[in-house]
Amino acid sequence: DAGVIQSPRHEVTEMGQEVTLRCKPISGHNSLFWYRQTMMRGLELLIYFNNNVPIDDSGMPEDRFSAKMPNASFSTLKIQPSEPRDSAVYFCASRPDRGLYFGPGTRLTVT
């Protein structure tokens, strides 16, 4: 099993640009989570999906952030427009009956 796959692994962009992060969960896992990790705030839950449906997006910082899960094998997290304070590592994770398995993360730098 390849585990949770995220792309790109690194993204450097200028303030104001649109950023799209991608995630492929582990096959058969019915829940998908997006987290953000920073030195200031640690690991924060942004949004999670159950059976492709967004269940709780209360952690999404503001309207500039949006997430979709068009099918069971793909999700995106979009930031439009990006700002320097969005710089962080963004993790996608998927869940079977127990546990939560993380991808390698996307390190985003907004200059």
Q: Where do contacts with another protein occur on this chain (CB under 8 A)?
A: 4, 31, 33, 39-43, 45, 48, 50, 55-56, 91, 93, 98-105
Angle at 92 between CA 44 and CA 23, to 5 degrees: 145
Output the smallest distance, CB 42 to another protein, in A: 5
Output the smallest distance, CB 2 to another protein, in A: 13
Our measurement of the distance from residue 27's CA atom to the centroid of its chain's CA atoms, rounded to an integer in Å, reads 17
Token representation of residue 106? 């996307």
Output the smallest distance, CB 29 to another protein, in A: 13
